Amino acid sequence: MKSKPVVFLDSGVGGLPYLLEAKRKLPSRDFIYLADNKNFPYGGRDILSLKKIVHEIIGKALNAFDPEAVVIACNTASVVTLSSLRQKYGIPFVGVVPAVKPAAENTKNGIIGLLATETTVKNIYTDTLIRDFASDCSVRKFAGVKIVDFVENQLYQSNSMRTTKILQPAVTFFKKEKIDTLILGCTHFLFVKDTLKKMLGSQVSIIDSVEGVTTQLKKVISSCPEKPLETHRSRYTFYITGNRFDRSKYDVFLQKFELVWGGTL
Ligand code: DGL
């Protein structure tokens, strides 16, 4: 019997590095990637409106694709909506939240940086993660609002000088705070991880949640063959919301992540 797909949701392209690893771990599975372009960005939105937006789009996605599980491939949406989504729907939801525990295990000097959206930085769920897993550390937070927009809209049209310029305020802040470990608390930031690493220097470790999230996904869905099936070619389809978008902007992402265009949801 054909297995049901897994849906990934983010406000934009941020969740694609997570999807890439999920495809590697679950090669016989179909994946649907949903970029909520209509409501981009999620960061900075108030909790109630973001909850409404995410519940609405998840409702539509469940009707359209009947997935076995959903990955909320967005820290902002996860910290705000994960528990209510789990309560409402009877399928597994895997969240992407700041990797506070691995960061606390990694730090030597006890000073950790958190680079995330404004909503994630201020959210009570984030505070709870810090209290539960890093109570003996000092966590210095920076909201990288401009970085999100840069990755979503300009990354592949920009040169490395421009990328460095966009990251500079965050890097200056974290250097001043003397962090030795940085949590990438927004999926969009995975795209600039290498540049951040160069700018922060080898004494700072950068922690993301790709491995943890995809391992968790593999656990919650029904077992599937480790190798692609000869009888089924896995499909990786990219959908967006809304009707005001520049299709050419997405082509480069589709190519890089080997997805086919599904249209609008
Ligand atoms: N990629 C999202 C996250 O992980 C947020 C981007 C946005 O502000 O929409 O938080």
Query: Is pLDDT at 226 greater than 60 in this prediction?
Result: no
Percent of the chain with pLDDT over 90: 90
**Nearest alpha carbon to residue 16 among 236, 184, 224:** 236
**Ligand 1 binding site (Cβ under 6 Å of any ligand atom):** 10-11, 14, 40-43, 74-76, 117, 120, 148, 186-188
Ligand 1: atom nearest CA of 116 is 10
Could you tell me the domains of the chain? 6-96+211-264 (3.40.50.1860), 100-208 (3.40.50.1860)
Mean pLDDT over the full length of the chain: 95
In the reported structure, the alpha carbon of residue 252 is separated from the centroid of ligand 1 by a whole-number distance in angstroms of: 20
Ligand 1: atom nearest CA of 73 is 4
In the reported structure, the alpha carbon of residue 15 is separated from the centroid of ligand 1 by a whole-number distance in angstroms of: 9
In the reported structure, the alpha carbon of residue 40 is separated from the centroid of ligand 1 by a whole-number distance in angstroms of: 8
Among all residues, which ones are annotated catalytic? 74, 186
Q: For 126-156, how does the pLDDT look when each residue is reduced to its tens digit (9 = 90+)?
A: 999 999 999 999 999 999 999 999 999 999 9
Q: For 19-75, how does the pLDDT look when each residue is reduced to its tens digit (9 = 90+)?
A: 999 999 999 999 999 999 999 999 999 999 999 999 999 999 999 999 999 999 999
